[in-house]
Chain A
Amino acid sequence: MGRATSKDAQALIHSLRSAYAATPSSLKIIDLYVGFAVFSAIIQVVYMAIVGSFPFNSFLSGVLSCIGTAVLAVCLRIQVNKENKEFKDLPSEHAFADFVLCNLVLHLVIMNFLG
């Protein structure tokens, strides 16, 4: 209540960092993977803004592969996370198998649309 000081912001960040450090390392690997995919998508968008949108289908294909990878990885993280009540009964191998199959379909579509 009252004034928001920099000490509060610092305390917030500190608590976030310590909570994050407690997550299992498998989830951290997934987070790294998502970050890599999103970073790649941003690079492509900046490139398109500079050079122009020809050929548009290749641009869409490249961006979609990055975003699709990120989305599938996020889904995997949701299903594998032990603290998630919703997926308590889902074996993590099942989730990983779904993840692999969906990625195969995604890359098949990307290769076709790439032109």
Chain B
Amino acid sequence: MARSNFSVLTILSVILLLPVFSLSFSPDSPSDRRLLVLFDYLSLKSSHSIFFNSLKSRGFDLDFKLADDPKLALQRYGQYLYDGLILFSPSIERFGGALDLAAVLDFVDSGHDLIIAADSSASDLIKSVATECGVDFDEDPSALVIDHRSYAVVGTEGDHTLIAADDFIESDVLLGENKIEAPVLFKGIAHSLNAANNLVLKVLSASPAAYSANPSSKLSSPPSLTGSSISLVSVVQARNNARIMITGSLDLFSNRFFRSSVQKAGSPKKYDKSGNEQFVAELSKWVFHERGHLKAVNLRHNKAGETNEPAMYRIKDDLDFSVEIYEWSGKSWEPYVANDVQVQFYMMSPYVLKTLSNDKKGLYHTSFKVPDVYGVFQFKVEYNRLGYTSLLLSKQIPVRPFKHNEYERFITAAFPYYGASFTMMAGFFIFSFVYLYHK
């Protein structure tokens, strides 16, 4: 008796507390919350502890697992358990548990974020995940990025595989407002962007003097990946706004690189701290949707002077259009301020294209005259800017021609015809008098 009471109690409490358990990624709060971190070996947890602690202090729940853990699962009963995945397991040949290449790609296709770090021990599995995301790693397993001009000066003359890179992409939304002063230390393999892919961006590219080759053997043929086409860190923003960061150096995130000083070969300036920590922190803020995530709400249109939305417009009407755009700041929705948001009044081609003016509080508005063409139009707002989520809004509205009683009463161009008709009537009248009474 007591046992059945107890089980009833537990069932009741679980049902009542279920809403509390579903506090996670939702459209109202788009930052990720739960991250799964996969390692090859557990010592990575301590050797990269500064990075993980900074993630925890920003409010993420990290779940550390070995990459071949047989209990790995990204989703259970159709629901995803995590909002983001960090793959720090370059040498894994096969994931454990329910995870494989298709599962990772489905995870990204459903709008979740991903960080992939490879290094010289990168397996085919990790390389194929990266290829599916639009980035091709060097196929030679023993090749590293070598740069004899931009290497980091260490005590002994090394083989110039430790690179000090400072060729960043120009974007405040990706890398934050503060400029990264010190170069970023990188040691790992090269990747290049797939030329057919227009969603992938090079965030940190190698200098024109870099190439990808085996450092311990002589070059027998010119290397296939050279110069600025080598990307050291790339990001992809997919069309469903999932964000992926791919890099060829796991050490980029390590405590050792975060803390070390850096001096680029050929320049006298020595920085006490490399730019790695700032670079990784800012870029991970972007990847996990703490920055650059836009939402547009309240697309409204009405005739000038009215407040309700009509179901149909007439040609040559004056109308007002407004939309509100907000940006997620990590904790709340802030108004998004820009002066290049445009609206199109579109039917097969844009008849009207206007730039929206904003009031600095997130409300964008404009007014224009409906064109002299009738049909079914759409209000279209298409906004794709580097680093921001894409906004694609459209609202259909029909436009009708004039009703027969909406024309001007007397058309000036037709006055001669009016005159002729009345003249004919008068002429008939006069003629009949003359005809009847002439002598």
Contact = CB atoms under 8 A, between A and B. Distances in A.
B384 interface: no
A68 B210 CA distance: 92
Contacts, number: 74
Contact of A40 (B414, B420, B432, B435): B420
A44 B419 CA distance: 10
Given A26-B438, A29-B435, A58-B411, A66 B428 contact: no
Contacts of B18: none
Interface in B126-177: none
B418 A62 contact: yes
Interface residues of A, number: 33
B424 to A, nearest CB: 5
Interface in B325-340: none
Interface of B is mostly: helix
Interface in A92-108: 96, 100, 103, 107
B436 interface: yes
Given A62-B416, A96-B436, A29 B431 contact: yes
Contacts of A65: 420-421, 424-425
B196 interface: no
B413 A51 contact: yes
A25 interface: yes
Contacts of B427: 33, 36-37, 69
Contacts of B424: 37, 40, 65-66, 69, 107, 110
22 contacts: A25-B438, A26-B435, A26-B438, A29-B438, A40-B420, A40-B423, A43-B420, A44-B416, A52-B413, A54-B411, A55-B411, A55-B413, A55-B414, A59-B417, A61-B421, A62-B417, A73-B431, A96-B432, A103-B428, A110-B421, A114-B414, A114-B421
Given A66-B420, A96-B436, A114-B418, A54 B431 contact: no
Contacts of A30: 435
Tier of interface size on chain B: 10 to 19
Given A44-B420, A59-B417, A62-B420, A107 B435 contact: no
B161 to A, nearest CB: 79
Contacts of B438: 25-26, 29
B434 interface: yes
Which 4 residue pairs across A and B have the least CB separation, nearest first? A62-B417, A58-B414, A62-B420, A58-B417
Interface of B: 411, 413-414, 416-418, 420-421, 423-425, 427-428, 431-432, 434-436, 438
B206 to A, nearest CB: 67
Contacts of B416: 43-44, 47, 62
A59 B435 contact: no
Contacts of B421: 61-62, 65, 107, 110-111, 114
B428 A107 contact: yes
Given A26-B435, A55-B414, A69-B428, 15 more contacts: A25-B438, A33-B427, A33-B431, A52-B413, A54-B413, A61-B421, A62-B421, A63-B420, A65-B420, A66-B420, A96-B432, A96-B435, A110-B421, A114-B418, A115-B411
